[in-house]
Structure 1
Amino acid sequence: MNITKENIDELNSVITVSIEKNDYEENAEKVLRDYRKKVNLDGFRAGKVPMGMVRKMYGKSVLVEEINKLISEALSGFISENQLNVLGEPLPNKDQKPVDFDHQSDFEFKFDVGIAPDFEIKLTKRDKIPFYQIQIEDKMIDNYVENYTKRFGKVETTDKIEENSLVKGSVQQIDKEGNIVKNGLSHDDVMFSMERLQQVKIKKAFTNKKIGDTVDFDVKKAFENDTEIAAFLKLKKEEVAEINPNFRFTVNEMSNYIDAEINQELFDKVFGEGKIKSVEEFRNAIKDDIAKTLVRESEFKFFLDAKEKLVNKTNLELPEEFLKRWLSSTKEGSELTEEKMKDEFPLFLEDLKWQLIKSKVITENELNVTEEEVLSLSKEVALQQFAQYGLSNVPDEQLEGYAREMLKKDDDRKRLYEKKLEDKVVEYIKENVKVDEKEISSEEFSKLFSAK
């Protein structure tokens, strides 16, 4: 077997794999002998089918399989031994001559390969990247306080229906004269929120009603759409169009959701018992939490700007035509329309350039991630997940247990490892450029993303 490489240009090469009969003959014969032992054919005992018949039945498929194995091993070994930094996977050359497995004994296969460019990363303090420090405004703290009072509020029954009440009761279908429809639609346990009633007149009819009171109303005028009506009357959505919409509602129960008071009980629920003693401390603790969230947002924006800076600065050239062919050959790429490919290919190129830059930074600076660092990041992620459910006071033992369980999942471990490694690349960039700190409002910061 002979393997050669022809450089078309700096980014494209053709690898030729030449295979002779003696490269595959022995293995192919061994496979056929194994087939002979197992094949069942009428008129012959097991293992006694003539080899000629076995070769006729399976020879071509075995030949193709053995040659494909040789090609795969040859390409992989050649790329590794010659330290070729290939992009994607080798593709059959567009000028590959047809192969006749029935009559040929020697074969030649040509493969196109895309080569990653050689480049240097030169960063100096003249390279400036902004780092946005987002101002913490009182309205942010107010929003957090309001969210906590709602999250830890409670439902209380009332003696009359109010503007935001949840109302439970029974309904009976009525005719235009207000008479109960015989065998009409009725339910003893329905409910709705006053906030969902659309028509002001109907909302006023329910307001201040008490247990036992009744209200006649048109459900199609009361609720916004057929989905809500179906849920209220316990019907299928498609059944709503055919019903008589007039009903009598009898009030059985009403309740209101009451926001929690801003007191010691709320402080303890949010941050743990006894940790916060006053409204001022409560707001300061919330401010600290906001600051941590905003730092993550600032770091993410810095990452995007650093990525854009290095991609533009290195200005890498890639074998675009080869990459389009390769991307189209993948399962994901084959499902893309021509228009979609046109839209997404530039994004693919930008991401590939960043991957090459990132890999070079990691290799040249011998960056690595320890088990302790992955566990620490896993705990951070776990804490953020708990915080989404209002649990900001999670014991360390429980947090670490949750983090370790997360790391038992291969996909999660890989994702966290790669995130930590990328964080180290960003830290390297920070240390080698001028970080231009800028104070900015949250509104202005949001506009930075919408401007892209």
Structure 2
Amino acid sequence: MNISKQTIDDLNAVLTLTVEKADYETRVNDALNNYRKKVQMPGFRPGKVPAGMVKKMYGKSILADEINKLVSENLSNYITDNKLNLLGEPLPSEKQQLVDFDANESFEFIFDIATAPEFEADLSKKDKLPYYTIAITDEMIDQQIKSVTGRFGKNEVVDVISDQSMIKASLVELDANGNAKQDGIQVDETVISMMVAKDDAERNKLVGSKVGDAVVMNLAKAYPNANELSYMLKISKEQAEGLTSDFKVTVNEITEFKYAELNQDLFTQLYGEGVVNNEEEFKNKVKEELANNLAFESDYRFQLDAREKLVAKFDIKLPEAFLIRWIKATNHGNDKLTDEQINAEMPKFIEDLKWQLIKNKVIEANKLEIDHQDVLAAAKQAARIQFMQYGLSNIPEDYLENYAMDMLNKEEQRRQFAQGAINTKVLNFIKEAVKLDEKELSRDEFNKLFENN
């Protein structure tokens, strides 16, 4: 088989494959013989159908199939052997003539290809990139401590109702004279949250009450949301919407959520024996954890800024016309896009591709590699973040590693963690190679950086 390459420009080329009879004849004959052994036809025993009859009935489709396989194999081998760095995949040329398997013995196949642009991703201290950190305030530390103590808090029985209480109570609907309404609503036990009451005057009627006390109040005013009221009174939403009666509320139980105390038991539960021994050390640990968590946000912002600056610096040219053709040719399935959607998304696709090419060039030029330990570290970090969301900071290292290994057993997750690991290496390399313009911002100022992204 003869394969020739015609260069159109720096990014586009045409591959022409000429297939002669000698290239495919043996393959086709072998395929016909194998098919003859399996084909079943009335009047013939299996494997005894005449070869001529098999060729007459199935020869054309087998010929086309074998030639297509041959073209695909040789095209792939040519690209590999010649180390062509393609963008997308080869596309049948728009100049391709219709292949006539009946009239010809030699065939020509033409493919358009696009190659990645050649450029050097040179980075130095002359390149200045912003790196934003978030200032940790006392308020942020206090909020984090409240979150931590809240996760380890619990509901406790108290003696007196406050505006933070949860109440179990029995309810009786009253008539205009303050007596139990005939055929009115009666609930033996329901739960009332003081924190969600909307009317202060009605809520304050309960504040200060104790178990056994009875209070008359208008529940519809205190809880105007019909869904909440219907749940409390065990009636339909429609009934709740028209309710105006007062109710006698008899208090059966009072509880309040109590945050965990800052003591050694909590410190040990969070971090293990002897790691944190007092409130000052606990606050420092919380601040350290906040800094680690916020570093992820800083790195994410840095990735966006590095992408913007470096894509602009290297000014990479891409074969956009080919890429549009390739996307449209591979655009199928349930998520198929319209031509209008493809055209609208192309600028973002082009920018994404340029950034990927820059990262690939950094990896190649600086021989950046990842191994199993890098991927495992990425999985462990993801697992650690998951556990921290549930207030679990003191996870044994062996348990954390086993959990991460379980995640890596799933091929898709392993691929994602591997991609994350190499991406981290690239960004760390860029940080070291360029000059960082470090700026500390407040949380609000940092958030505003994303308003135009």
TM (norm. structure 2) is: 0.85
Tell whether the 8 Å contact from 2:230 to 2:239 is kept in structure 1 after alignment: no
Structure 1 residues 257-296: aligned runs within 5 Å:
257-296=257-296
Paired with 1:17 and 1:56, the residues of 2 have a C-alpha distance of 27
* Amino acid across the alignment from 1:422: N
Q: For 2:125, give the aligned amino acid.
A: K
Shift in alpha-carbon separation, 1:274–1:54, aligned structure 2, 3 A: same
Counterpart amino acid of residue 348 in structure 1: F
Q: Which range moves more in the overlay, 335-344 or 140-149?
A: 335-344
2:132 corresponds in structure 1 to 132
User: Structure 2: 5+ residue runs without aligned partners?
Assistant: none
Question: What do residues 174-228 of structure 1 show as CA deviations (whole Å, max 9, x unaligned)?
Answer: 999974659x9x87665453434455566456656666758786779936365x5
Indicate the residue corresponding to 2:14 in structure 1.
Answer: 14
Name the CA shift for 1:24/1:202 in 2 (closer, same or farther; >3 Å). Answer: farther
Aligned-pair identity (%): 46
Task: Tell me if the contact between 2:229 and 2:240 (Cα under 8 Å) persists in the aligned partners.
Answer: no
How much is the aligned-residue C-alpha RMSD, in angstroms? 3.3
Name the SS for the 1:257 alignment partner.
Answer: strand
CA contact (8 A) 2:328 2:339 kept: no
What is residue 96 of structure 1 aligned with on the other side?
Answer: 96
Equivalent AA in structure 2 for residue 47 of structure 1: G
The answer as to whether partners of 2:114 and 2:319 remain within 8 angstroms in 1 is yes
Choose 95-104 or 147-156, whichever is displaced more.
95-104
Change (3 A) 1:176 1:321: farther
The offset of 1:428, in angstroms, is 2.5
Counterpart residue number, 1:348: 349
What does residue 437 of structure 1 align with? Answer: 438
Matches within 5 A, 1:58-73: 58-73=58-73
Query: How far did 1:263 drift?
Result: 3.0
Shift of 1:308: 2.0
Residue 5 to residue 158, structure 1, CA distance change in 2 (3 Å): same
Measured after TM superposition, the shift of residue 89 of structure 1 is: 0.8
2:395 aligned partner: 394
Counterpart contact for 1:164–1:256, Cα < 8 Å: yes
* Pairs within 5 Å for 1:23-38: 23-38=23-38
Q: How does 1:228-243 map to 2 (within 5 A)?
A: 240-241=237-238
Deviations 1:380-425 (A, max 9, x none): 3322222111111122222222233333333333322222222222
Deviation at 1:141, TM superposition (A): 0.6
Question: Match for 1:14: what amino acid?
Answer: V
Letter in 2 for 1:399: L
Assess if the C-alpha contact under 8 Å between 1:303 and 1:426 holds in 2.
yes
Matches within 5 A, 1:5-404: 5-159=5-159, 161-168=161-168, 179=181, 181=183, 191=191, 193-198=193-198, 203=203, 213=214, 222=223, 224=225, 226=227, 240-241=237-238, 246=243, 252-331=252-331, 335-404=336-405
Q: Which segment drifts farther, 389-398 or 296-305?
A: 296-305
CA shift at 1:129, angstroms? 1.0
CA distance in 2, matches of 1:332, 1:350: 23
CA distance in 2 between counterparts of 1:291 and 1:137 reads: 11
SS of the equivalent of 2:41 reads: coil
Q: Can you list the C-alpha shifts for 1:125-184, whole angstroms capped at 9, x where unaligned? A: 2211122233221111111111122111111134565433334467799999974659x9
Deviations 1:242-293 (A, max 9, x none): 8886597776544221222333333333333443232222211111111212
Contact map agreement 1:218 1:245 (CA 8 A) in 2? no
Aligned length: 446
Alpha-carbon separation, structure 2, partners of 1:354 and 1:225: 53
Q: Does 1:422 align with 2:436?
A: no
Q: Any idea what the Cα deviations from partners look like across 1:6-29, whole Å, max 9, x if unmatched?
A: 222211112122223332232223
Q: Confirm or deny: 8 A CA contact 2:168 2:254 kept in the other structure.
A: yes
Classify 1:92/1:211 alpha carbon distance in 2 versus 1 (closer, same or farther; 3 Å): farther
- Distance in structure 2 (CA, Å) of the matches to 1:242 and 1:51: 84
State the AA in 1 paired with 2:372: E
Distance in 2 (alpha carbons) for counterparts of 1:194 and 1:347:
50
Stretches of structure 1 that go unaligned for 5 or more consecutive residues are none
Letter in 1 for 2:124: T
Shift of 1:337: 3.1
1:49: how far off?
2.4
Conserved? CA contact 2:226–2:237, under 8 Å: no
TM-score by length of structure 1 reads: 0.85
Superimposed CA distance per residue, residues 357-387 of structure 1 (whole angstroms, 9 cap, x where no aligned partner): 1112211221212333333333333222221
Give distance in 1, aligned partners of 2:226 and 2:241.
15
Q: Counterparts of 1:330 and 1:374 in 2: how far apart (Å)? A: 31
Q: Secondary structure at the match of 2:10?
A: coil
1:219, 1:245 within 8 Å by CA — same for their partners in 2?
no
- Contact 2:230-2:240 at 8 Å conserved across structures: no
- Opposite residue 115 of structure 1, the aligned amino acid is T
* CA distance 1:48–1:339, shift in 2 (3 Å): same
